[in-house]
Structure formats: structure tokens, C-alpha cells
Amino acid sequence: MTYTVNDKCIMCKHTDCVEVCPVDCFYEGENMLVINPDECIDCGVCEPECPEDAIYATDDEEDPWYKHNLYFSEEANWPNITDAKDPMLEYEKYSGQSDKTKLFKKLPYKEI
Ligand code: SF4
Ligand code: F3S
């Protein structure tokens, strides 16, 4: 099992999650974070820290968000993030919105 980040993080990026991770396995994209599922030790301490409820446990390797987290943490060269910082400027506008997938921003990698 691993923990993974879904679209609720998009345009918010509160980063409370990275402060508590004992193995520093969060990676930062332009408008969301992902977890490297191969580095995550399933401790679960990040899940309750996210104000957007964007982190959940899964053991389904076909889960699109599992694949998304795996791809962007391992193949897309997103930088590791270990210190919290301010959330995105307009996070209040996007907080709680459903299905923010269309708002996902990336360098020219691949569609999800
Ligand atoms: Fe890090 Fe634990 Fe969250 Fe995995 S479950 S990302 S190891 S804090
Ligand atoms: Fe995103 Fe929640 Fe972390 S909004 S940056 S998963 S605290």
C-alpha cells in the first residue's frame, strides 16, 4: 500500500503534508504535489494534515492517481520538497472544488 495525492491538491498546495513525512517523499509540480509510491513507507501521518483531504491510501496500481503520482515523482524530474511554504495565491478560490483535474498544470510531460 502507499499514500497518494489526488486533484484536490491542485491550485491549493498547502504543503502541510511535507513537514510530517519521515522519508521526504513528496515532489512538487507547478500546481500540485505528488508522493513517490516507491519511497512512501505507508505511515499515514500526512493524510490528516491536508486541509483539502487530498491524500489517501491505495493499493491499486491501476488507480489513475497512483499512476499520476508514480509518473511525476519518478520520471518527470519534479523536485523533492521537504519544507512547507505558503499555499498558492488563489487557494481559497479553488478549495473544495470537485474534479480539478482540468486545472492541472505541467511542463510538457504527458496527459493523465
Ligand atoms: Fe510520507 Fe508517511 Fe505520507 Fe507516505 S504516508 S507520504 S511516508 S508521511
Ligand atoms: Fe496538497 Fe494537501 Fe499537501 S493540498 S500540498 S496534499 S497538504
Report the separation in Å between the CA atom of 46 and the middle of ligand 2, taken as the mean of its atom positions. Answer: 9
Dihedral angle sign, alpha carbons of residues 12, 32, 13, 63: positive
Reduce the DSSP state of residue 28 to 3 states and report it. Answer: strand
The finding on whether 100 has its CB within 6 A of some atom of ligand 2 is: no
C-alpha to C-alpha distance for 18 and 61, rounded to whole angstroms: 23
- Grid cell listed for 73: 515523482
**Is any ligand 2 atom within 6 A of the Cβ of residue 10?**
no
Spatial distance between the Cα atoms of 69 and 9, rounded to a whole number of angstroms:
12
- Residue 56: how many other CB atoms lie within 10 Å: 14
pLDDT tens, the chain, 112 aa long = 999 999 999 999 999 999 999 999 999 999 999 999 999 999 999 999 999 999 999 999 999 999 999 999 999 989 999 999 999 999 999 999 999 999 998 755 455 4
**Has this prediction a pTM greater than 0.85?**
yes
